[in-house]
Structure 1
Amino acid sequence: MDARVTENTGYYGLDPSPTTMNAIGATDMDLISKIRPILSAEVHLALVTVLTYAMLFIGLAGMVSNILVIITCTKIGFLENINISYLALGISDLLGCAIRAWGALCFVFVVTNTKLPFDPSSLSVTTGFYLGQAFEKITAFITAFIALERCLCVQFPLHVKRIVTKRKTIFSIVVIYVFGFGPSNLIHVVYPLRWIFSPAQNRTILTVVPLQTSFRFIVSRALLAYYGTILHFTALIIVWICTIFLAVGLKRKADTRKENFKHLNSKEDKRDLRVIKTVFLLAITYLACSTPAAATLLVPHFEPEFSTSRGLARISRVCHMFSGLTSVINSSLNFFIFLYMGSRFRQTFMSLFRKTIPRFIRT
């Protein structure tokens, strides 16, 4: 693989310009000449390749785990609002893992120089990066909604069923999906797909041809600000606040249990406590996996060279890929959290597992 191609992995370029749409060009050479040699081209390629394959395999594993979440939640039913939220979270995580895995696969195609009827480097930007950002933010806000709903349960246990109804839960999730996924489709307006002739392959391929207008710059920058700043930090702050309240609520529950053990020994109280612990663990996992992304988004405000098109391009690209990997990990872990913390989820899943395996063996 040509070393110049490694400086041009469009998937993690924050603004898919003509530089990210061409494998090798004069603009690429200008960028390479400005890169600070903190990471050598060989080390950069090795790190990017490792992160790409890790994202690909974890993304595929996350797809399987979230399919199991969706099946199990559907089997449990939706008498409780929390199961509707869990299902919505599983769908968002499934799509997020699938899109991130697709973006990683596009880079694998670039590395292997596979002759394909499309340009993987350009398609990964519009169909991988921006759509991946959209579903990551949907996951973030559903996590924030779940945490907020549990906080209300802790603070207003007698009124929460009136405050958070099934209709309000479904409406909130629909709003999250609309505002999370809808704006990301604007990228296809300014970066439309076109069939063009490729002299290198001597055939027509599908690629992204960006509009040569200022509207493209406005839309791409607006989407980056919307997903990378507004949605990201809003969800992060909500989850942080709700996690603190949940921690206080768990402490209060523990203290009350010591004072009145018999009352808190009921099945309903035990179930509520398990749900709070599950949501608390979901929130902590999200916060841990979102910290690298938050740091990557904040650094350019203090160091302008930390960009995929400036002097620290190699380090910036590695950090963006690492934060993307942690997001995929977050989307892949929920199944194991539900399995470990949720007794009803675990019983339902094991029941389905025992029924499905014998049928599969007989088939």
Structure 2
Amino acid sequence: MSDSNLVNTNNDYKYLQELISDEVKDIILTVNYVSICGTLSVFGLVANVMNVVVFLRMGLNDAVNVSLMGLSVADVFSMIFLLLESACFNPMFQNIGLPFALMEVQFIVGGWPHICFTRTVSWITAFITFERCICIALPLKVKSIITATRTKCFVVMAFLIVAGSAAPEFYVNQFVWKFYPEKNRSLIGLHFVEDRDKFEKVTFPLNNVIMQYLAFSVVLVCTIILVVKLNEKTKWRSVSARGDNTNTISNKDRKVIKMVSFVSAAFIVSYLPSSILFMAMAIKRDFHPSGYFNIFHVTWSFAFVLEAVNSTITIIIYYQLSSKYKKMFLATFLCRKIDSEK
């Protein structure tokens, strides 16, 4: 019985490895990581640095500005490490005789740091959605509940907790000198500690599945509450208000609904694939660089592309849907005077 299971496992392994050949894998990784992620990470890095500058100029006395700046900072570092990972997958760097195996080293040097900051993005996004939900549900108490100081504390804690949750991965995945027969030389590569399986059975699902899906749940639940409450208020105001004010208030409510819906939808679409892949890694231990190498890297390359898109388009969302951000952006980068009439 055990021999039969072993044969089936080996057959599954060979099938999955042959499903994506090395040639196809190299093409997909070059397109996704080098071309798409490389380009998007540069644009995303520049865009989020601009976001940080704008929010700093707008002031950090407002809780929303604090959380949005924290989100931009997380995106900045996320794009830096994605750019580093893009360089590791570049064939030019792989063929210049570097003393380490780029495909293995990038997993810890680029991949996991990038994931840490994208997870921070998830938690700050959840907090922003929660804050706006409180703003609609308890408008008279929101300023006493969500203050700028408390928001700063949450943002800092989000960075620290996520970094701490990822620390075990840097313990079980270590760098050592390894001999590579195909290159006939020793290189610095990835080595897994002996107790990796026992260690990751607990830490991996907790840190990479539960925490990630909890952030998703907060975003989804709070967004649903927010949209329902705003729709209720819009209908009530449309009936009770008079004259031109009806359209004005209704338009403002619809604008908030549109912004929150777009932000949450972009977040969910962009981060759902990586959440699914983490679940797959927790369930199937061979779904790892040491196992289904080709499948692992190809699927993650598509997930990283979507995450890069999400980090890049935030500047467009802010510019189009926030008049204060737009005015400060134009004043900062195009030297336009801020209109203080309104």
Q: Identify the TM-score tier after normalising by the shorter chain.
A: 0.7 to 0.9
Residue 82 (structure 2) pairs with residue 100 (structure 1): yes
Kept after mapping to 2: 8 A contact 1:63/1:98: yes
Which segments of 5 or more consecutive residues in structure 1 lack a partner in the other structure? 1-29, 357-363
Kept after mapping to 2: 8 A contact 1:150/1:276: no
Which segments of 5 or more consecutive residues in structure 2 lack a partner in the other structure? 1-10, 337-342
| Greater Cα offset, 50-59 or 266-275 | 266-275
Residue 277 (structure 2) pairs with residue 281 (structure 1): no
Q: Distance in 1 between matches of 2:335 and 2:177?
A: 48
Of 3, 19, 23, 1:42 maps to 23
Q: Distance in 2 between matches of 1:116 and 1:313?
A: 21
| Greater Cα offset, 250-259 or 160-169 | 250-259
Kept after mapping to 2: 8 A contact 1:126/1:191: yes
Q: Distance in 2 between matches of 1:311 and 1:181?
A: 26
**Equivalent AA in structure 1 for residue 219 of structure 2:** V
| Greater Cα offset, 252-261 or 269-278 | 269-278
Q: Distance in 2 between matches of 1:164 and 1:269?
A: 25
Residue 43 (structure 2) pairs with residue 61 (structure 1): yes
Percent identity over paired residues: 23
Q: Distance in 2 between matches of 1:342 and 1:32?
A: 51
Q: Distance in 2 between matches of 1:290 and 1:45?
A: 24
Q: TM-score, normalised by structure 2?
A: 0.81
Cα 1:291/1:197, change in 2 over 3 Å: closer
CA RMSD, 1 decimal: 3.6
Deviation at 1:120, TM superposition (A): 2.1
Kept after mapping to 1: 8 A contact 2:94/2:102: no
Kept after mapping to 2: 8 A contact 1:191/1:210: yes
Q: Distance in 2 between matches of 1:212 and 1:103?
A: 23
Kept after mapping to 2: 8 A contact 1:134/1:227: no
Q: Distance in 2 between matches of 1:137 and 1:235?
A: 9
Kept after mapping to 1: 8 A contact 2:230/2:257: yes
**Equivalent AA in structure 2 for residue 86 of structure 1:** L
Q: Distance in 1 between matches of 2:39 and 2:84?
A: 11
Q: Distance in 1 between matches of 2:276 and 2:156?
A: 29
**Equivalent AA in structure 2 for residue 114 of structure 1:** I
Q: How does 1:149-298 map to 2 (within 5 A)?
A: 149-193=131-175, 207-208=188-189, 210=191, 212-214=193-195, 216-220=196-200, 222-259=202-239, 260-261=241-242, 277-298=258-279
Cα 1:199/1:95, change in 2 over 3 Å: same
State the secondary structure of the residue aligned to 1:37.
Answer: helix
Kept after mapping to 2: 8 A contact 1:31/1:309: no
Of 128, 149, 157, 1:146 maps to 128
Residue 58 (structure 2) pairs with residue 91 (structure 1): no
| Greater Cα offset, 149-158 or 53-62 | 53-62
